[in-house]
Structure 1
C-alpha cells in the first residue's frame, strides 16, 4: 500500500480516537499537505508557521492584514464558541520548534488537549493540532499528550509511478533496466527529494536514466554530511592479504546484495550484515572498506559516541536520525567500528546506552532496507548474547594474526602499492614472511610499518629503491605490537579461542 495511504490511515485512526496533538517529524511539507488535503477533504484546515504566521492552507498567502503571534493564533481554537460549532478543525503548526518551549504556547496546547479529552461532554469541540516540523522538539509538559506519526519514504511502486510521471511530463520514457536501478538508487529518499534530483538530472543530462545514479549518490552524500552523525568513508584502492574464508563468504553475499529482486524471486532474503572480531591491526577496518568497494556502494561509519546528547531523549533521536540518513543512502554499508566500546555502559548504570542498544537491536531485527551492517570488534565476550544471536548478523568471523602465507601476501601488497604496482627488484616476500616467527604474532599493521620504514630509509640513503637487505634489517630491529602488549593480547586471544567463532582465514 502506498506510503500516503498508510499515513492517512494512522492519522484517521488517531484522530477518531481523540488524540489531541499529533507530531510529524519531517521536512517534506508538500507531501504532508497533499496527504492532509486528500485524507480530510471536509475538515477546516488552518495553518501557522513561525516564518509567515497564519497562512491560507491552500495558497500559503497570509491570512488577512493583521499578523498573529502563535499564542494569538492558538487562542482562536481555545475558546468556548467552538463547543457549538460541530466542525472538524485541523490546526497545522509548521516549524515551531523555536516557539513550542514557550510557556504560553505549551500551556495553550495543553488547554486545547484538555478540551479535546472532554469532548464527550462538550458536544462538538473537535480540534486536532498537527505539528509538522523538521526538528523534533517536545517540551516535557507535552510528552504525554503528543502522538508521533512517521512519514515513511515512498515504496518501490510509488517511486516507479513518480518517475514515470516526471518522465511523461517531459515527453520521455525510462527503460525497464534503468527503472530497476533508479528505484533502488532513489530508495529511502522523500518524494520532495526524488522530484528535486529528477529535475536536476533532466536539466543536466536531458534524461532520467541509469547514468543519473552518480547524481543521486552525490545528493545523498550531501545529506550524510549535513547530518553530522555519520561519516562517509572513501575506500580508495584497497586489497586484503589472506582472510580467504571471509572473502569467499562476502563474494556470495555480494551476489545477493547487488541483485535483490532476482534473489527475492528465489526466496532469498537480503543479507543483514557481518561481525568481524579479533586482534587489533589484523585487517578488520580494512575489510569494512573493502566490502564497500567490492559491493560498489557508499560506506557510512557510525560512531555511537557522536549520538550522545545532553538532553533527555536526544541520544535516541540522534540514532533515529542516523538510521534515517543511512536508509536514505541505500544501498550502502553501515560500519560500526569497535562496537564493544560503543555499548560498554550496558549493565553498569548506563541507561542511555542501554536504550540505544535496544533501539539498535530492534532496527537490525526488523530492517528491510538494503543496508549491510559491518560491525568490527576486538573483544565481544562482554556483549550481551542477544546481540550475537542469528538474525542480527548473518555470520561472525574471527580474525587472528596472519599465518606465513598471509604475511607473504601482505608484504607483496604493501610493496607493490608503493612501487608502481610491481615488486622492487630482488625483493622476495616469501623470505621476508619467513623471518617473522609465528609466536611473535606480527599483525598486518606491523608488516605495513616495516615496509614503510624500509622505504623511508632507502629514500633518505640517496633516494634509492628499497632492497631485500633494507627490509631484513628493519625486521631484525622491529618488535611486533604483540610483543609489546603480550599480556593484554594473550588474554584477548584466550577469549577469542573460547568463543568458537568461524575463522576468517583458511
Structure 2
C-alpha cells in the first residue's frame, strides 16, 4: 500500500514508527539524506516517545551497530534477516541493498529472502518491543508476495529552501577561500538558480552550482542554463520525456504579437515576487491553427525566453511498450516533469495522441491515460507550464478544452501582410547574414513586395522559399537575387490552396472559441469572422516582382480579437 500524508517526511515517519508498522520502503537515490532524517526522528523523544537505536545493513559490511562495530555473520541478506528476528529489543533496522535480492524483470526474487521478510513482518507487528525495518533503495522493487506487508513512504526531493541553503553555503565558502570568484547575483538571481535546481538531488544541485562557479569564475544570472544542463540528465534517464534544446528567442518568431504579449506578462510568474501579488502559477496554453504558422517554434521560444527547461512529451511513447504499461508511462512522465519544475511541458500535435478517446480496440487504455493526464492538469501544484499544439483541435475531447485545463486557447492563422513582412525579414537576415549567397539588399521595398506577393503562405512556406532561392544561387555559385525568390514563389503551391476547405473549417471552429494570436494592429486590410470561402491561388509574381493580376481574396480570419 502507498501512504500519502500531507505532512512532512519526519512526521509521517514518526507516526509509522509509533504505530509499529513492521516494514517501510523509501525510494530515493539520496541514501545519506534519508539516513540523516531517520537518525533525526529516532533520536527525538517528542516525535516517537520511545527512543530506538538504529542498525544499518549493507551487502558489503553487514549490520553495523550504534557503536559503529560490524556484526559478524550478517553480510548475506538471509543472515541479516535472521539476526533481526533474534533481536527482540526496540530498534530500527535500515536495509540499504536489499532491493537487489527482490527480483526484477530478468530474474525472480530469492524465495528464502521473501519468506524471511514475511517472518520479520509478522514478528515485528506482533512482538512486545517496537521494531521497524526500513528498506532504502534507488528503485522500487516490491514482489507481489510482499505487497501487503510493505508500506511505501514518500521521500521528497530537496525543497527550494534546502537547495538555497546549499547555494548560500557554497557562495560563502568560495568567497572566503577564493578571491578570484566573483558573485554577481542578487537575491532574485539566487532564487532563480535555486528554483532551476528543483528536481535535482542535493548532490546534483551542488555539482551544478560548482560547475557554474568554475565555468568562468563568475556566478551570475546567466548560469541558470548550466543548472538546466544537469536537469537534462534526469530527464534523459527517465526515457519518456525528451529534453529539447530551446535556442530560439521570441523575437525570432514573426508576428503573433497578441500571443507574445500574453506570454511576456506571465514570465517569472513562478517566483516569490509573483506569489506576493497573489498570482497563481499559470497552467498552460493551447495553440491551434494552420500548420506551419509558428506554433512549435513559439513553444521553443517561450522556453528560451523564460529560461526554463523544455520537455517534450511524445504521446506515442506513452502507448509504446508492453500491454498495461501505458498508464505507468504517463505517471512516470508526469513525475519526471514535476521533478524538473519549474519547466515547460510541450505536447506537439496533441490531437494525434488524444483524438478518438473512448473508441474500441484498446480496452479503455487510452481513456484511462487521458483521464490521468486531465486530472493532473486540473489539480497540479508543481510549476509545470503546459504548451499543447494542435492542427485539428475539433478532434479533441471537449473536456480537454474547458477552462481550468489551460489558461487560454490561441488560434494561429496564416500570417497577415505585416506579419509576412517580419517573417521575410527574419529569414533573409538569418540566411544571408554570413552566407556566400549574400548581396541582395534587404530593403523596405523588397520586403514590402515579397510580403504582398505571398498572401496565403504560411511562415514555414516562406522559410522554404528562401531556402529554394539559396539552392538556385548555389547551383550557379553566385549570390541570391530577387529573381530566385520570385521564381520560388511562382512555383510553390501553398497550403492555403491545397487544403483550403480544412483551413476554412478550423477558422470556423476558432471564430468564437479561441483568441487570435495575431494582434489587432497587424490586421490591416483584414476583418474578423468566419471564413465563408476557400482561399484562391496566391499571386504569381512576374520577373520584375509585380503580381501579374490583382485578385479578390477572402480575408476572413478565425479567432476572437482581444488585444493583450
Indicate the residue corresponding to 1:185 in structure 2: 196
Matched with 2:24 is 22
CA distance in structure 2 between the partners assigned to 1:458 and 1:207 by the alignment? 45
2:453 to 410, 432, 435: 435
User: Which deviations, in whole Å up to 9, do the C-alpha atoms of 1:68-105 show, x marking residues without a partner?
Assistant: 3323322334x4x56xx352443434361453441513
How far apart are the structure 1 equivalents of 2:365 and 2:335?
Answer: 20
Unpaired runs of 5+ residues, structure 2, are 44-50, 177-182, 520-564
The whole-number CA distance in structure 1 between the counterparts of 2:241 and 2:193 is 24
Alpha carbons of 1:435 and 1:309: their partners in 2 closer, same or farther (altered >3 Å)?
Answer: closer
What does residue range 235-250 of structure 1 map to in structure 2 within 5 Å? Answer: 235-237=246-248, 239-250=252-263
* Structure 1 pair 432–164 and aligned structure 2 pair: CA distance change class (3 A): closer
1:115 CA drift (Å): 4.3
> Could you say if the C-alpha distance between residues 113 and 381 of structure 1 is closer, same or farther in structure 2, counting changes exceeding 3 Å?
farther
Q: What is the root-mean-square deviation of aligned Cα atoms in Å?
A: 3.5
Change over 3 Å in CA distance of 1:201–1:108 after alignment to 2: same
For 1:230 and 1:444, locate their aligned partners in 2 and report how far apart those are by CA, in whole Å: 28
What is the TM-score normalised by the length of structure 1? 0.83
State the partner residue of 2:523.
none
Structure 1: gaps (5+ residues): none
Correspondent of 2:274 among 263, 266, 275: 263
> Could you say which residue in structure 2 is the equivalent of 1:9?
11
Conserved 8 A contact 2:196-2:308? no
Question: Does the 8 A contact of 2:56 with 2:95 survive in 1?
Answer: yes
Change (3 A) 1:170 1:335: same
Alignment match of 2:480 (pick from 459, 466, 483): 466
Secondary structure, aligned partner of 1:135: coil
Alpha-carbon distance change, 405 to 280 in structure 1, aligned in 2, over 3 angstroms: same
Shift of residue 413 of structure 1?
Answer: 1.9
The equivalent residue for 1:505 is 518
Identify the match of residue 138 of structure 1 among 137, 142, 149. Answer: 142
Q: How big is the shift at 1:276?
A: 0.9
Which residue is equivalent to 1:333?
A: 344
Shift of 1:48: 3.4
| Structure number with higher relative contact order (C-alpha < 8 Å, ≥ 6 residues apart) | 1
Distance in 2 between residues matched to 1:395 and 1:319, nearest whole Å: 24
The alignment covers a number of residue pairs equal to 487
- Check the 8 A contact 1:271/1:372 in 2, yes or no: yes
Shift in CA distance, 444/28, structure 1 to aligned 2, threshold 3 Å: same
Match of 1:476 among 482, 490, 494: 490
> Is the 2:465–2:485 contact (alpha carbons within 8 Å) kept by the matching residues of 1?
yes
Larger Rg: 2
CA displacement at 1:430 relative to structure 2: 2.8
Structure 2: distance between partners of 1:296 and 1:175? 17
Query: Deviations for 1:324-372, whole angstroms, at most 9, x for unmatched residues?
Result: 5444544432212122223347323454444443433344334444432
The worse-fitting range, judged by mean Cα deviation, of 26-35 and 203-212 is 203-212
Displacement of 1:288 after TM fit?
Answer: 0.5
Asked if residue 289 in structure 1 is aligned to residue 289 in structure 2, the reply is no
Cα deviations by residue, 1:407-438 (Å, 9 ceiling, x for unpaired): 3322222222111188823772332333345x
SS of 1:428's equivalent in the other structure is helix
Q: Does 1:74 align with 2:81?
A: yes
Aligned residue in 1 for 2:116: 108
Distance between the aligned counterparts of 2:408 and 2:358, measured in 1?
25
Please tell me whether residue 226 in structure 1 is matched to residue 237 in structure 2.
yes
Matches of 2:17 and 2:479 in 1, distance apart?
A: 76
Structure 2 distance, partners of 1:207, 1:465, is: 43
Q: Give the TM-score normalised by the residue count of structure 2.
A: 0.75
Counterpart of 2:470 in structure 1 is 455
Q: What is the rounded CA distance, in whole Å, between the counterparts of 2:65 and 2:174 in structure 1?
A: 29
For residue 136 of structure 1, report the CA deviation from its aligned partner.
2.1
1:381 maps to 2:394: yes
Deviation at 1:29, TM superposition (A): 0.5
CA, structure 1 residues 482+6, in 2 after alignment: closer, same or farther (shift >3 Å)? same
The answer on whether the counterparts of 1:47 and 1:94 sit within 8 Å (CA) in structure 2 is no
Change (3 A) 1:442 1:13: same
Offset at 1:58?
Answer: 6.4
| 1:90 corresponds to 2:93 | yes
CA 1:359 to 1:24, structure 2 compared with 1: closer, same or farther past 3 Å? farther
